[in-house]
């Protein structure tokens, strides 16, 4: 839309991310003893499924900053107001529709009265610092805070290059655009890591504190920004680097994302501190491998998984609705007199989350995006 083409490899990674989250919430949503027929593989994936959010973080940092970078490369200017309007029309209508429906339905599903503080937290995207109505919307708050911060940062870098010590081209004397981005990451990631170590080890804070709050998690999104900067401003160098070391990068990426398959996030200070960094680096490696694959027998595997890429296009709406669907599925089946094994209910929850998420995306999200692209067309040229 808006003159931009989709990147099928990244849509496939989106699908992997949402499937990880869906499987994770089987484990935390239903009694384990009733899910035994699903097997140990599902439980192992479910233990690590929360990583799907971290994959979303890296992808979001890459894709959203890419909009700004491509706009700059096309026009040599940035229209931050238009950027924020377009992001708002992407996020807010679908989210507030979700919020209204969940508020209307809540008295019918046996939940306790809605928390006023939780409702305020949801409406203002502060649910990762205050109360929330749903357990999964914290990640939307992290991303929303990051979008606003990224827009401000890019605007200041563009308008105040001297303040950020931007380097000049020797031949032209012009500022090298955004070359401060990797240097900022080298400051941000150790600072955020130290804050997490302090919370997880020294203060022994609850795992949710370290896992949910923006100032302890945004380094994953900023890593995506760094990769996007390299992808857009040093494309050939990045491509050569990845293709020459493809197997090594892929292997290290898999190693970096492996700890959550063995360690439970709620009980592991390592995961809550260093683990978030290694997981982001692992997903960053998988991202650049997907974009700059070498060719050969297995290089197009992401492209060949067409159904995943299709599901990934609707990942936002699927993510929004999967938690209500997880709650409502057993209630609806019981109301209809269908007493199924928990393993079947869990599979129905996953299927309904995907089907209804896609349907609601087509009913709410996509029409708004079509209107957005007519009223506020993107200034970012297709990659």
Question: In this predicted model, which residue has the larger pLDDT, 116 or 245?
Answer: 245
Residues counted in the chain: 383
According to the model, what pLDDT value does residue 244 have? 94
CA angle 199–145–202, rounded 5-degree value? 5
What would the two tokens of residue 342 be? 């928990």
pLDDT band per the 50, 70, 90 thresholds, residue 282: very high
Prediction pTM value: 0.92
In tens, the pLDDT along 4-35 reads 567 888 999 999 999 999 999 987 767 666 66
Residue-by-residue DSSP string for 269-288: HHIIIIIHHHHHHHHHHHHH
Query: Would you call 258 helix, strand, or coil by DSSP?
Result: coil
Choose among 3, 82, 76, 10: nearest CA to 227: 10
Domain residue limits, the chain: 8-375
Match 């970096």 to its residue by tokens: 256
SS3 175: strand
Tell me what pLDDT residue 294 has.
Answer: 66
- How far CA 290 is from CA of 55, 225, 280, in Å, comes to 13, 16, 15
CA 191, CA 193: separation in Å to the nearest integer? 5
359 to 28, 296, 312, 318, 364: CA distances (angstroms): 25, 37, 14, 9, 9
- Confidence at residue 239, expressed as pLDDT on a 0 to 100 scale: 96
Instruction: Report pLDDT digits (tens) over 63-97.
Output: 999 999 999 999 989 999 999 999 999 999 999 99
Q: How high is the pLDDT of residue 21?
A: 96
Cα–Cα distance measured from residue 313 to residue 44, given in angstroms and rounded to the nearest whole number: 26
Average pLDDT estimate for 109-135: 86
Is the confidence at residue 299, as pLDDT, over 70?
Answer: no
């Amino acid at each position: 839309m808006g003159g931009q083409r989709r990147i099928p490899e990244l849509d496939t990674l989106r699908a992997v991310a949402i499937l990880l989250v869906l499987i994770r919430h089987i484990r935390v949503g239903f009694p384990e003893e009733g899910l035994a027929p699903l097997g140990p593989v599902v439980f192992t994936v479910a233990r690590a499924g929360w990583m799907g959010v971290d994959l979303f973080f890296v992808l979001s940092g890459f894709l959203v900053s890419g909009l700004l970078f491509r706009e700059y490369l096309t026009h040599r200017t940035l229209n931050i107001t238009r950027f924020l309007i377009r992001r708002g029309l992407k996020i807010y209508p679908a989210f507030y529709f979700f919020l209204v429906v969940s508020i209307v339905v809540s008295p019918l599903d046996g939940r306790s009265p809605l928390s006023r503080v939780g409702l305020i937290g949801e409406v203002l995207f502060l649910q990762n610092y205050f109360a929330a109505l749903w357990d999964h919307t914290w990640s939307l708050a992290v991303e929303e805070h990051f979008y606003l911060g990224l827009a401000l940062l890019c605007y200041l870098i563009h308008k105040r290059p001297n303040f950020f010590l931007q380097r000049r081209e020797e031949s032209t004397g012009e500022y090298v655009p955004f070359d401060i981005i990797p240097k900022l990451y080298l400051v941000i990631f150790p600072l955020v890591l130290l804050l997490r170590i302090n919370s997880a080890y020294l203060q022994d804070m609850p795992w949710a504190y370290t896992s949910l709050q923006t100032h302890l998690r945004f380094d994953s999104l900023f890593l995506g920004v760094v990769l996007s900067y390299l992808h857009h401003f040093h494309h050939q160098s990045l491509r050569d680097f990845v293709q020459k070391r493809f197997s090594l990068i892929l292997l290290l990426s898999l190693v970096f994302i492996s700890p959550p398959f063995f360690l439970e996030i709620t009980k592991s200070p390592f995961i809550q501190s260093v683990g978030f960094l290694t997981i982001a680096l692992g997903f960053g490696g998988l991202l650049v491998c997907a974009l700059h694959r070498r060719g050969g027998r297995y290089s197009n595997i992401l492209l060949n998984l067409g159904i995943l890429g299709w599901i990934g296009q609707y990942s936002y709406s699927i993510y929004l609705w999967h938690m209500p669907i997880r709650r409502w599925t057993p209630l609806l089946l019981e109301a209809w007199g269908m007493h199924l094994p928990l393993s079947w209910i869990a599979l129905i929850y996953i299927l309904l989350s995907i089907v209804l998420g896609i349907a609601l995306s087509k009913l709410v999200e996509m029409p708004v995006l079509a209107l957005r692209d007519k009223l506020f067309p993107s200034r970012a040229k297709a990659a």
